[in-house]
A and B are shown apart, each in its own frame.
Chain A
Amino acid sequence: MHNIMTGMDKLLEIEDLRVHFPVRGGVFRRAVGACKAVDGVTLSLEKGQTLGLVGESGCGKSTLAKAVVKLIQPTSGSIKFKKKMVSGGVDEINFRKSVQMVFQDPAESLNSRMTVGSIIGEPLDVHKIGDKSERLNRVEELLEQVGLSKSTVKRYPFEFSGGQRQRIGIARALALNPELLVLDEPVSALDVSVQSQVLNLLMGLQAELQLTYLLIAHDLAVVKHVSDVIAVMYLGKIVEFGPAEELYLNPIHAYTKALISAIPIPDPTVKRKKVVIPGEVPSPINPPAGCAFGSRINAVKYPESVGQDLSFKEVCNGHWVLNCPCCVEE
Chain B
Amino acid sequence: MNPFLLSCQSGNTRNTWPNKKLYLFNMSSHEQTDSLLKIRDLSVSFTTDEGDVQALDAVEFEVKHGQTLGLVGESGCGKSVTALSVMRLLPQPIGKINGGSIYFGGMDLLKLNPDQIRQIRGNEIGMIFQEPMNALNPVRTIGDQVSESFLLHQDISPREAWEKSIHMLEDVGIPCPENRVFEYPHQLSGGMRQRIVIAIALACKPKLIIADEPTTALDVTVQSQILDLLESLKEKLGSSVLLITHDLGVIAETCDEVCVMYAGRVVERAPTKELFANPVHAYTRGLLASIPRLDGVSKTELSTIDGMVPGLPELNVGCRFAPRSGAEHSEELLLQRPPYHEFTPGHWVEACPVCTTL
Contacts and interface: CB of A to CB of B under 8 A. Distances in A.
Interface of A: 56-57, 161-164, 191-197, 199-200, 203, 218-222, 224-227, 244-245, 248, 258-269, 272, 274, 276-277, 280-281
29 contacts: A56-B219, A164-B308, A191-B246, A191-B309, A192-B74, A196-B290, A197-B304, A200-B304, A218-B220, A220-B220, A221-B291, A221-B294, A222-B292, A224-B298, A225-B292, A225-B293, A225-B296, A226-B298, A226-B299, A262-B224, A263-B220, A264-B247, A264-B252, A265-B253, A266-B291, A269-B273, A269-B276, A272-B253, A276-B228
A263 B295 CA distance: 12
Interface in B223-267: 223-225, 227-228, 246-253
B272 A268 contact: yes
A197 B308 CA distance: 10
B191 interface: yes
Contacts of A225: 292-293, 296, 298-300, 302
B338 interface: no
Nearest to B192: A280
Given A200-B302, A200-B304, 10 more contacts: A194-B74, A196-B304, A219-B220, A221-B291, A221-B293, A264-B252, A265-B252, A266-B252, A276-B228, A280-B189
Contacts of B247: 264
A268 B219 contact: no
B100 interface: no
A266 B220 contact: no
B231 to A, nearest CB: 11
Interface of B: 74-75, 189-192, 219-225, 227-228, 246-253, 272-273, 276-277, 286-288, 290-294, 296, 298-305, 308-309
B304 A266 contact: no
B290 A264 contact: no
Decide if the interface of chain A is mainly helix, strand, loop or mixed: helix
Contacts of B74: 191-194
B221 A259 contact: yes
A264 B304 contact: no
A259 B298 contact: no
Contacts of B309: 161, 191
A56 B298 CA distance: 22
B79 to A, nearest CB: 12
Nearest to A195: B290
B273 A264 contact: no
B334 to A, nearest CB: 21
Contacts of A197: 304
A314 to B, nearest CB: 22
Contact of B298 (A245, A265, A268): A245
A17 to B, nearest CB: 23
Contact of A221 (B192, B292, B304): B292
A193 B252 CA distance: 18
B313 to A, nearest CB: 14
Contacts of A265: 249, 252-253, 293-294
Given A264-B250, A268-B272, A193 B292 contact: no
Contacts of B223: 262, 264
Nearest to A54: B220
B294 A260 contact: yes
A192 B219 CA distance: 17
Contact of B190 (A57, A224, A259, A264): A57
A199 B292 contact: yes
A279 to B, nearest CB: 8
A192 B294 contact: no
Which 3 pairs from chain A and chain B are nearest by CB? A264-B249, A225-B292, A196-B302
A280 B287 contact: no
Nearest to B215: A264
A192 B248 contact: yes
A280 to B, nearest CB: 6
Nearest to A59: B219
